[in-house]
Structures are given as C-alpha cells and as structure tokens.
Amino acid sequence: LKERKFSFVKRTSMGKTLKVELTVNILEDKITEIIISGDFFAYPSEALEELELKIRGKTVEEALKIVDGYEGRMKLIGASLQDIKQLIRQVKSTGT
C-alpha cells in the first residue's frame, strides 16, 4: 500500500476545533490530499481552499512553507496558521 491516511485534530486556544486530514504517498513522500476543516473562520474564505490545492503534491516540509506564505494573506479566527502547521507536522512524528 503506497498511500496512507492521517487525521489530526486539536482544540485551539480559542476553543475551536481544527482538523487536518492528509493522504500521503509514502513512496514519494508527498501529500496527495489535504482537507482542513472545523468551526473556525477564514478570510477570505476562498484562501483556505487555495491553500489546500497548493499543498497537494508537495512534501511535508514544502507544505509548511506554503502555509507560512499565507501569513498576512489569510486571516484566521479561532485557529492559526501555527495550529495548521502543528497538525501537518504530526505526519512526521506519526511516521510513514
């Protein structure tokens, strides 16, 4: 099996739920799918979808940089880019 699915969830410091679901191609070490969901707010809302699209096909390290690139471009309320990065990083600690 070359793909593995991960699902990480946290309750943010602002009391919201943030969930990041990832599908990782283990052979190529690439994220093939990412879904970020929860009861937070993102402005503009389209930016989150765009972020997900950009992460597809990238490694975890590349994905973290992409998330950093949204500083100042997407405002999150109830969650933060750090929260998203923390959950993406868990792919590494969980081990592929």
Partner 1 sequence: VRLRVILFETPYDAYFNLALEEAIYYVAGKKGCREPILRIWRNANAAVIGYFQRAEEEVDLEYAQEIGAAIVRRFTGGGAVYHDLGNVNYAVIVSRRTPNPLTEIYGSLLKGTLYALKKLGASPKIENVNDIIVNSRKVSGTAATFKNNILFLHGCLLVSSDLNILRSLLKTPKKKLENNKASSVKYRVTLLEDALGRRLDFSEIVDVLVRGYEELLQLKAYYDLPSKLELQVAKILYEGKYRRNEWNLERFPSSKFAEVYRRIDELITES
Identify which range of 22-30, 55-63, 71-79, 88-96 contacts partner 1 by CB under 8 A. 71-79
Size of the site for partner 1 (CB under 8 A): 26
Contacts of 87 (CB under 8 A, 6+ apart): 8, 9, 10, 18, 19, 20
**Residue 14 lies near partner 1 (rule: CB under 8 A):** yes
Packing angle of the helix pair 81-94, 60-68 (nearest 10 deg): 170
Q: Which of 52, 57, 82, 86 binds partner 1 (CB under 8 A)?
A: 52
Least separation in angstroms between residue 14's CB and partner 1 is: 7
In terms of DSSP bridges, do strands 30-38 and 17-25 run parallel, antiparallel, or are they unpaired?
A: antiparallel
Helix (H) or strand (E) holding 20: strand 17-25
CB–CB of 84/18 below 8 Å? yes
Is the Cβ of residue 52 or residue 62 nearer to partner 1 in the bound state?
Answer: 52
Is 73 near partner 1 (CB under 8 A)? no
Name the site residues for partner 1 (rule: CB under 8 A): 9-11, 14-17, 19, 35-46, 48-49, 52, 75, 77-78
